Structures are given as C-alpha cells and as structure tokens.
Amino acid sequence: MIGLVKGLKDKKIVIDADGLNAISENLETLRENVVLTPHRGEFRKLSGKKPTAENVTQFAKKYECIMVTKGPIDIVSNGTETKFNFTGNPGMATGGTGDILSGAIAGFAANNDLFEASCAATFVTGLAGDFVQKEKGYYFISTDVLEKLSKAIKWAEEF
C-alpha cells in the first residue's frame, strides 16, 4: 500500500478498510490528494484520539490529507475546512456501505475537487441510506443503499 501511495503521487486516492490498516504505520506518506474514510474506531486506531471535529481537523492538517470520519454525524475535513454530514442512519452500519461511499468519492473526484467530492459523496450516500430506511426500516444491506444512490444524486441535483 505504501509503495502504491508513493508511486501514484499525482493521482487522487481513496483509502478505506484494510487500506487504513496498511497505511497506519506510515502516515507520513499521506498527502493532499489522499482521502481516508475511517469509521470512529478506525480513526482512534490511526490517530490515538477520539473522533471529535477538532481531532479530525488536526489529523487532516498534520498529514495534509482529507479525512471522512464516518459516524452518527460524519466529519469531513481537509485540515482547513471541516464539514458535517447529517444524512445517514444506524442501518448503514453494515458491511459494504463504506465501499459504496469510497466508490462515490472516487467517482465524484474524477472531475471535481477532492474535498468537494468527499463532501458530496458523503451526503448522497447517507441520503440513499435514508431513502432505504424509510422503506425498509433499519435492517437492510449495502446493495439496498447502492440501488438508491442514483435517486439521491438526482434529488441533490434538483435541490
């Protein structure tokens, strides 16, 4: 993972799940075009601190990266700006929803600023989860969220 991050220094990179474990001992390789998407426990492991807005912002600033810390209120920071996302619900704490978020960030980042892409992807992925929750309650799977993602994107575009 470290070699990949170093070798792709001019590319935008999203790191989640096992990638976070792989990079945790070499955080100095992070840079401004890298997004980390830890949940609260993974953030604690990476930073040794609680996932507060201040700590997330300080981490992003120190390592010059973008942090998307997932939780009841998602915290997105590039070290200068910090945004909060209130979409999403406890039903999204299921395997695969983080992969959907990472994919949405990567997709939006293809033609947009990485921080803005991270904020937008976090919002619409949570909104898709909220659409699912309204139909199915809190017991659903990640593919349910994926199926509502285009509806959430369309809703955001029309807002």
Pick the CATH number of 2-158 from 3.40.1190.20, 3.40.50.300, 3.40.1360.10, 3.30.360.10: 3.40.1190.20
Average pLDDT, integer, range 3-14: 80
| Cross-strand bridge partners of residue 85 | 74
Which pTM does this prediction carry? 0.94
What's the pLDDT tens digit per position in 93-124? 999 999 999 999 999 999 999 999 999 999 99
**68 with 93: CB under 8 angstroms?**
no
Q: Which amino acid is at 43?
A: F
Band (159; pLDDT cuts 50, 70, 90):
confident
